[in-house]
A and B are shown apart, each in its own frame.
Chain A
Amino acid sequence: GAVVSQHPSRVICKSGTSVKIECRSLDFQATTMFWYRQFPKQSLMLMATSNEGSKATYEQGVEKDKFLINHASLTLSTLTVTSAHPEDSSFYICSARDLEGVNEQFFGPGTRLTVL
């Protein structure tokens, strides 16, 4: 089956620093990758959609300058949380979809970000 990895799985950082999270599709080419944010016991909130080689499309209310997304290749997308603050602490999950899998997304294991 399709496998998506995320790195790191957990990160703790000081307020004001930037954190980069990587999302990789391991055994398929992901034409589209999605980034979600999830607070405890809440739903997944779509932050942005990224297509390989083009700019990400951000959902309403998501600051594009704060959450930088790069999808440089068909197997890698990165999310950089710039100048992180405690309110950015959350569970960040990426998912990927290939050309044929329009009805199904494969999720990474998530990254737990804690900003002190």
Chain B
Amino acid sequence: GQSLEQPSEVTAVEGAIVQINCTYQTSGFYGLSWYQQHDGGAPTFLSYNGLDGLEETGRFSSFLSRSDSYGYLLLQELQMKDSASYFCAVREADKIIFGKGTRLHILP
């Protein structure tokens, strides 16, 4: 079966750094993605890791370790607009399976 585990909620302070972890167990694995979703909105793509290592895009970075079935999303210089839900998602051949999401609360 497939399972993706990520914390349900994380709280951080504006300007700080936060890391959201994701562990996965799937029958087939092509890569790990991260999506952001604001309340009432659609998910938007943040990053994709197909190989081990760190991918950086502006304030956001994502890491993957295939041997550990583990990845994380790192958000730096947090802004209030970063308050949202963040989903890790595994690409299995032809489809993407989403984790349950991490609700990020940012305090001023």
Interface residues of A (CB under 8 A from B): 32, 34, 36, 41-46, 49, 93, 95, 102-110
Rounded to whole angstroms, the CA-CA distance of A5 and B7 in the bound complex is 31
**Secondary structure class of chain B's binding surface, majority of residues:** strand
| Chain A residues in 8 Å Cβ range of B99 | 43
Is the beta-carbon distance between A103 and B48 smaller than 8 angstroms?
yes
Determine the interface band of chain B, counting residues with CB < 8 A from chain A. 20 to 34
Which chain A residue has the least Cβ–Cβ distance from B93?
A102
B91 CB to closest chain A CB, in angstroms? 6
| Chain B residues in 8 Å Cβ range of A109 | 41-42
Max chain B Cβ within 10 angstroms of own Cβ: one of A105, A109, A110:
A105
Which chain B residue has the least Cβ–Cβ distance from A48?
B95
Max chain A Cβ within 10 angstroms of own Cβ: one of B33, B45, B87, B100:
B45
